[in-house]
């Protein structure tokens, strides 16, 4: 519920700024309807940028990779004992 309140508060603040900009005529009226579109595009670019940064800084976990390989080996052995063909090793 807290996230909904935060999101609604943010949207209300953005709407208030937008209406304020329209009232004081900082942005020409013929371009003012594009402000929400610009905001949406900016938020999308920011989201993609943050995902890209997260992927570039993705930590490698060699210890976890070894554990995963051990789990895969154990699972293959378990399935072979049950008569399931798991393919070539």
The whole model's pTM is what?
0.46
How is residue 27 annotated by DSSP? S
In the three-class reduction of DSSP (H, G, I as helix; E, B as strand; rest coil), residue 44 is classed as helix
For residue 33, what pLDDT is reported? 73
Q: pLDDT, tens digit, for every residue of 1-25?
A: 687 888 889 888 988 887 787 777 7
Kindly report the number of other CB atoms within 10 A of residue 22's CB atom: 14
Q: pLDDT, tens digit, for every residue of 27-49?
A: 677 777 777 788 789 888 998 99
Which of 13, 14, 6 lies closest to 40, judged by CA?
Answer: 14
The domain ranges of the chain are 2-58
Q: Using CA atoms, how far apart are residues 45 and 51, in angstroms rounded to an integer?
A: 10
For residue 8, what pLDDT is reported? 86
Angle between helices 35-56 and 2-24 (to 10 degrees): 130
């Amino acid at each position: 519920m807290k996230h909904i309140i935060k999101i609604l508060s943010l949207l209300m603040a953005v709407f208030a700024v937008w209406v304020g900009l329209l009232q004081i005529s900082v942005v020409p009226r013929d371009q003012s309807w594009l402000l929400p579109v610009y905001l949406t595009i900016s938020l999308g670019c920011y989201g993609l940028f943050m995902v890209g940064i997260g992927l570039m800084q993705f930590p490698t976990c060699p210890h976890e990779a070894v554990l995963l390989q051990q789990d895969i080996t154990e699972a293959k052995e378990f399935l072979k004992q049950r008569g399931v063909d798991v393919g070539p090793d």
